[in-house]
Amino acid sequence: MDAEDARFALSAGADAVVVSNHGGRQLDGAPSSISVLPEVVAAIDGRCEVLFDGGIRSGQDLAKGLALGARGGMIGKSFLFALAAGGQAGVTRALEIIRDELRVTLALTGTSDVASCGPHMLRMR
C-alpha cells in the first residue's frame, strides 16, 4: 500500500509485491488498493511483479488493475464464494466468468490482450 514499502521489499529481494489493504476493513480512512496501485507500480519500475488484491469480483475489476500496471490479480472472495457454493466446479465456473468478462472488457476498450493493457483503457480526467 506504500511505494516506499514496495521499494524496501524489492531491495530485500522480493520477486513480487502485492498491493492489498486487507487491514483497510478496520480503518475507515485507509485508501483503496486500486488508488495506490499506480504509485507502487511506478516505484517498482518493472523490477519485479506487482499483483493487485482488493475487491476483484469481475473481469472488469481485473482489467482496471491491469490497466494501472498490475501484472495479475488475486480473487480471494470470488474464489471462496464459488468454492462454498459449488465446490471445485464452482471455482472453475467463477474463473470462466471472470475470464469471459475480462475478454469482453478488453474488446470494448479496443485492447487485444492482457499484455496490451494500460491507462488508455481508462477514462482519465
Encode pLDDT of 36-89 as tens digits: 999 999 999 999 999 999 889 999 999 999 999 999 999 988 889 999 999 999
Catalytic residue among 2, 4, 5, 22: 22
94-99, long-range: CB within 8 Å, 24+ apart, which pairs?
Answer: 97/58, 97/59, 98/56, 98/58, 98/59, 98/62, 99/59
Catalytic residue check, 22: yes
pTM of the model: 0.89
Position 22 scores a pLDDT of 77
The yes or no reply on domain 3-121 and CATH 3.20.20.70 is: yes
Domain parsing of the chain, residue ranges: 3-121
Would you state the pLDDT for residue 124?
Answer: 56
